[in-house]
Amino acid sequence: MASSAHDKAFYVTTPIYYVNDAPHIGHAYTTTAGDVLTRWHRQRGEKVWFLTGVDEHGTKVQRAAEDGGVTPQQWVDRLVTDSWRPVLSTINAANDDFIRTTEPRHIERVQKFWEQVRENGYVYSAPYEGPYCVGCEEFKLPGDLLAGTGEFEGQQVCPVHSRPVEQLTEDNWFFKLSSFQQALIDHYEANPDAIAPRSAYNEVMSFLRQGLVDISMSRSSVSWGIPLPWDEKQVVYVWFDALLNYATAVGYGADPASEEGQRFAQTWPCDVHLVGKDIVRFHAVYWPAMLMAAGVPVAHKVFAHGWLLVGGEKMSKSKLTGIAPEQIIDHFGADSFRYYFLRAIAFGQDGSFSWEDMSARYTSELANGLGNLASRATAMVVRYCDGALPTPGAYEPAEQALIDALATLVPEADTAMAELDFATAIGGVRSFIEMVNGYVTDVEPWVLAKDPAQSERLHTVLYTICESLRAIAVLYNPVMPVTMADLWQQLGAESTLGPIADQRIDAVATWGQLQPGTVITKGDALFPRLEESE
């Protein structure tokens, strides 16, 4: 697990979010997953790079700005400042970079990339005629469309937005996507883990085997975009500009000797692209084909997570099922938000959000589970040992069972995290917490405290509980960084073991790290009782 300055960084990206509206919890869910994954890898001692950002070009933004009576740039600047950047603080994301597709570094490198693809012979000029969904910003194939119903009867509608598509007729530049059909099939057959979960892999392979058609990589009727370097009357099709952010943000096209160029060498290719399942085709077909066309290595893995459903419907602004992250976080707190969405929903599958389920889990798993354990442990050390962590005596089978369970848990949680199986990793720690709570109930330290002859046994028990909490704090730190830093302080661990973020996953199970004599303090409840919501 050791890494040197020259080792490749573990590079994770969120999708490049479209800024035509404010973020909802579906966006926060993906960013949280990336944040937990990258924090865990940092605690493995790896170099990490975590990128998120926003896609600011395209027809949808242009029209929204016009409707709002402002320029597209003014429109996106306001949304990024007021909504998109703040949500990162709201959910405690520790991203290393935030890319905007209107930034000069992105624009210049997109132009450089497409010049390279053109030089390599994969771009040509031709007229385009066919359906286009502004909501998806996607050229549709006739087979993609559904017959409209109700007010749209007799029209072809987009299956995602349930709205009619527009017929486009333009002179455009085309990308020779069809040239990469076999190369992509070969790549995925040789690397079946490059798309996950399996359902997404099967969908992509089925799409590839049906045959690829060349796709327009430019638009002539849209002005809000990146101009083609060889044809100023055209802008790069929004997806073929947006997808490039993953490479431009880490220095694609920069001088190899520059800091940016060195970052690209140490970061690329991407280890995990996190995407929603509805955009897997862009990321697992168009994007790698573009990279192949430019002679750039493709990403190691595209992971398509499921949808968050509210009342059985996919969350979206257009259907009024979008819930702002602040609405939940103001009530439950950011760490509880992070915990719930990765614990309650198997990453990669659809999951339903309900306020009632979140309240129930908060109370049972966090407040009554971990919170109660921490408050009992610190209170007993303060009460029975004047706040100094006691020296343990001989361990009996009850303690050894916990020590052994922790030794089993850590590698299992590490494997689950590496596979983006957050629910299993978090569930494993949760089971260990239940085990420690069961231990406290069984050994009854409050009874031991009444008998002076049992003082050594009491000290062993109190040390065991606190040392278990040390391990729990480190394992949960990627998920709940603010609350676990609080627990770390209450355990007095900062002064002897250093910052919690520096604790290594591979050392968590080494028993006996908390030093006897350390000052333990009873702080506020880690997970306070919830105010009754209206």
Residues assigned a catalytic role: 24, 27, 133, 136, 158, 161, 314, 317
The two tokens of residue 435 are 């085990």
In a 10 Å sphere around its CB, with 0-12 CB exposed, 13-18 middle and 19+ buried, how is residue 255 labelled? exposed
With tokens 């702002």, the residue in question is: 324
Contact of 379 with 524, CB cutoff 8 Å? no
- What is d(CA 104, CA 61) in angstroms, rounded to the nearest whole number? 19
Residues present in the chain in total? 534
The two tokens of residue 97 are 């970079």
Assign 52 to helix, strand or coil. Answer: strand
Contact of 103 with 226, CB cutoff 8 Å? no
With tokens 């009996």, the residue in question is: 396
Q: How many CB atoms lie within 10 A of CB 211?
A: 8
Contact of 426 with 339, CB cutoff 8 Å? yes
- What is d(CA 194, CA 299) in angstroms, rounded to the nearest whole number? 8
- What is d(CA 217, CA 494) in angstroms, rounded to the nearest whole number? 53
Task: List the beta bridge partners of residue 351.
Answer: 308
Contact of 169 with 202, CB cutoff 8 Å? no
Give the CA-trace dihedral at 517, 371, 414, 46, to 10 degrees: -60
